Chains A and B, each alone.
Chain A
Amino acid sequence: MNYVPKIDRRSFLVATAAAGGGLALGIPLAPQSASAQTGLATPELGVWVVVKPDETVVVRVVRHEMGQGTITGLAQLVAEELEADWSKVTIEHPTPGESVKRKRPWGAYSTGGSRGIRESHEYMRQGGAAARLMLIQAAANEWKVPAGEITADKGVLTHKASNRSTTYGKVAEAASKLPVPEKPALKDPKDWKIAGKPMKRFNAVDKVMGRQVYGADLTLPGMLNATIKDCPVFGGKVKSFEAAKVAGMKGVKKVLQVGESAVAVVADTWWQAKVALDALPIVWDEGPNAKVSSASIAEMLKAGLDAEQAFVGNENGDIKAALASAAKKVEAVYSYPYQNHAPMEPMNATARYTPDKCELWAPTQDAEGSFAAVLAASGLPADKCEVYQMDLGGGFGRRGAYPGDFVHQAVLISKEMPGTPVKLLWSREEDMAHGRYHPVMMAKMVGAFDKDNNLTGLHMRLSGQSILAAVRPQVVEQQKGRDPLVFQGLASQAMLAEHSFSYTIPNLLIDHAMRNPHVPPGFWRGVNINQNAIFMECFMDELAQAAGQDELEFRRKLLGNHPRNLAALNAVAEKIGWGKPAEPGIHRGLAHLKAFNAYVAAAAEVSVTGDKLKVHRIVAATDPTFAVNPAQIDRQVAGSFVYGLSALYYQECTIKDGRVVETNFDTYDSMRIAQMPKVESILMPSGGSGPWGGVGEPTICVAAPAVMNAYFKATGKRIRSFPLKNHDIAMA
């Protein structure tokens, strides 16, 4: 699934890899007369590192920070190879415009699919190592000694034999003129001193003082503020609106249609724009989807559960024969709803357009995707466009590259007011109404046992929505109609190695009937592993119970070929005290999965009192191969459980009359501190030369099935559709 960008003289293609998928956004190559005016620090030691005369080390990072700690982790890796003084390290973000001019030396910007570190660690570490070698060489030239005799440590270069030393800052200018070594050797992770350590995130002081400027906070001289309403029914259009009714309201500068389906108000302040937009009469042409409801979508998916045509994601043996000859069969149907990301900072982007230049400031997970959107919306060539990445108030997949999204809107609005910067900020209500939703999915699970209660076969039929079909259709086309990402956590090794299935079952079929309702789907923290882990891991408990076996033992027998999955599962089982008596009223459940090349497991302890399900404690295990920053990983694990459990208990975007019913956090709730279980994170990086695993997403998927398996132990009730609020189960 790795997309290799094609670079030639005439065209420059930017790959924005989707979660495991890929896409080429055509961006024409800028003329090579790149001006020196880049806004980047100097002097450069290769493309990744700058050391300033005052000893400040600037690491270039193009991946985006949205709270997951990526920029800190990447800087640690570069600083490690550089032998830098960590206290002197800062980062800067080269712009996509600069990247295009230089033929993309920093690789992909897209930050999703837990790939920030795992897909850039190698070339960035090499960048750090190359810079170190250049600094050493510069000192060697100055002292006229062999480079091999010079050591580098904490930004200081030493030649022991002659008792001389100097600093990085002093030789950086000379070093910057030397050739950049290609593919320098990297340190053995066991020698790491900066990487692998619990370094604090950058910018914490700014964040606690209210000084961090998020996209929503940006102010530019002369800037106006806009807010927007898109047709609430997806696929609908604007029929008419009465601009005159609000044009005279205080502060209002412009009322305009944006594209075919949206209307925006531009005003001096955002609040004025919002008040005017709320008062603006708009008539919508709701289009062909105005009758669609959650019930009609469920019918559509249900039909897929038994459909003839389906795409195979994983198969071995002969499932038909196994089912036909089974001594006992177990069957269950599960379903998972639409969910919005609802990051704390609503969608926004600020654009300034003139016929000579279109600039965009955006909190984005993919500045290259935003750049492509600026080109498309402005109609200007790449050398007249630029994107400045802002810090994100949460991303979770929502701020990736989606067609016709907030960046596109911001540019269209600014085009109507040339020269004036306009900040478009969505209301929370707009954010709820126009997400790129976690797709809907159902699964029919059938297990077959022989007369000795051995599991002989498993058929898992998924039926539901494909994200790639909506946002990267060319990938689906290449796959002859299949969306491989639907099988995250379930896939065959050959199809999607980073998400491969871990149970060995003699006869197995996992297939997908694609059913695409009109609601726009998007990548979401973990996306398809959320439902796949619930479906598979809850059903594993159902199978174990049908066979009268311990749920842990039952899994262990099927995991013989996947020692890392097994190790993660064993680790949580041991720590939670599986097999030993729990406190009175406490019940336990387990789950595990491999996702984004990380091996994760969870064990939960819950109690049930009336309609209240309380999660007391979750033990989590993560094997990401290497742990770049253990403290940040712990925080990602605990945070992923907040996101995942909020989804489990509360979150559904209900569809009625073709639109989303829930409008804000009052109807789309998110857990609070009172409901936070104690999270005990076991970090068990197993090392080796294999691919590194991600950490931002994988654990999200194991909390829900572990909790639901414990809930069954407590109540004897098996819940198979979500969220739990639909079953009158409350979070305590």
Chain B
Amino acid sequence: MVALTINGQLHNVDVDPNTPLLWVIREQVGLTGTKYGCGIAQCGACTVHVDGVAMRSCALPVSDAAGKKITTIEGLAQNGKLTKVQQAWVDHDVPQCGYCQCGMIMAVSALLAEKPKPTDKDIDDAITNICRCGTFQQVREAIHMAANA
């Protein structure tokens, strides 16, 4: 049994402790906003916050996440109210297929928590998620929109 706190809720899951956090979130906890893209910490589709830090959950054994505060994309909006980042994403119509965007939004949210007014260089350094649809131009514009909202 591993005890996880996800989006403020405690989950006791019966899994092999080596199971990546990504798959526990998706399969045992049933939150599918956190996506599988590569499984080797390359693409960022699986990004979640672990104690406020953006981490790629596909490469994190669930045992390492025990006792930590985990936030997934489903935990951002409170009572249905979108966060500034999510709202900027909607207002600027960022998502194309959208599959990478949950991870992208998690990475950007962590960046803005640390640097509320990031420069383009800050964005370049911090946001390394892959988007095969190629939404980067809108992502950058929406980050600045969220920072100035």
Contact = CB atoms under 8 A, between A and B. Distances in A.
B123 interface: yes
A609 interface: no
A216 B35 contact: yes
A394 B99 contact: yes
Nearest to A214: B99
B135 A342 contact: no
A29 B36 CA distance: 39
Contact of B127 (A68, A392, A671, A673): A673
A211 B96 contact: no
Interface in A412-460: 425, 427-428
Contacts of A666: 40, 42
A664 to B, nearest CB: 5
B93 interface: yes
Nearest to B27: A269
Contacts of A635: 93, 96, 135, 138
Determine the interface band of chain A, counting residues with CB < 8 A from chain B.
35 or more
Contact of A670 (B33, B86, B132): B132
A428 B37 contact: yes
A271 interface: yes
A113 interface: no
Contacts of A344: 35, 37, 43, 45, 97, 99-100, 130-133
A204 interface: yes
Interface in B100-149: 100-102, 105, 123-125, 127-140
State the majority secondary structure of interface residues on A: loop
A204 B89 contact: yes
Contacts of B10: none
B139 A673 contact: yes
A201 B33 CA distance: 19
Given A210-B72, A271-B20, A639 B38 contact: no
Interface string A250-272: 10000000000000000001110
Interface stretch (A230-238, A478-486, A591-599, A640-648): A640-648
A669 to B, nearest CB: 8
A211 B35 contact: no
B96 A639 contact: yes
A396 interface: yes
A674 B125 contact: yes
A665 interface: yes
Contact of A209 (B26, B34, B39, B82): B82
Nearest to B14: A250
Contacts of B105: 208
Interface in A169-226: 200-201, 203-205, 207-214, 216-217, 219, 225
A642 B134 contact: yes
Contacts of A69: 96
Nearest to A68: B96
B77 A643 contact: no
A396 to B, nearest CB: 7
Nearest to A665: B42
B51 interface: no
A676 interface: yes
A673 B35 CA distance: 19
B2 to A, nearest CB: 14
B120 to A, nearest CB: 9
Interface string B48-76: 00000000000000000000000011101
B129 A672 contact: yes
A271 to B, nearest CB: 4
B99 A641 contact: no
Contacts of A214: 35, 99
A640 B124 CA distance: 20
Given A216-B36, A670-B130, A673-B123, A638 B137 contact: yes
B90 A428 contact: no
Contacts of A678: 137
B27 A664 contact: no
B74 A210 contact: yes
B82 A205 contact: yes
Nearest to B121: A674
B74 A209 contact: yes
A200 B89 contact: no
A21 interface: no
A646 B63 CA distance: 36
B19 interface: yes
Interface string A337-358: 0000011111000000000000
B130 to A, nearest CB: 5
A672 B44 CA distance: 11
Given A640-B134, A672-B128, A673-B140, A209 B33 contact: yes
B86 A270 contact: no
Contact of A394 (B34, B72, B97, B102): B97
A130 interface: no
A671 to B, nearest CB: 8
B132 A396 contact: yes
A69 to B, nearest CB: 8
Given A210-B33, A269-B23, A270-B27, A203 B98 contact: yes
15 contacts: A208-B89, A210-B72, A213-B32, A275-B16, A393-B97, A394-B97, A428-B39, A635-B135, A638-B134, A638-B136, A642-B132, A643-B133, A672-B129, A673-B136, A676-B137
Which 10 residue pairs across A and B have the least CB separation, nearest first?
A: A210-B33, A642-B134, A393-B99, A67-B97, A67-B96, A639-B134, A207-B98, A210-B73, A674-B124, A217-B32
Given A639-B96, A672-B129, 18 more contacts: A204-B95, A209-B86, A210-B72, A269-B23, A342-B132, A344-B45, A344-B97, A344-B130, A393-B98, A394-B97, A428-B38, A631-B93, A635-B93, A638-B138, A642-B134, A642-B135, A664-B39, A676-B137
Interface of A: 66-69, 200-201, 203-205, 207-214, 216-217, 219, 225, 250, 269-271, 275, 342-346, 391-396, 425, 427-428, 631, 635, 638-643, 664-666, 670-674, 676, 678-679
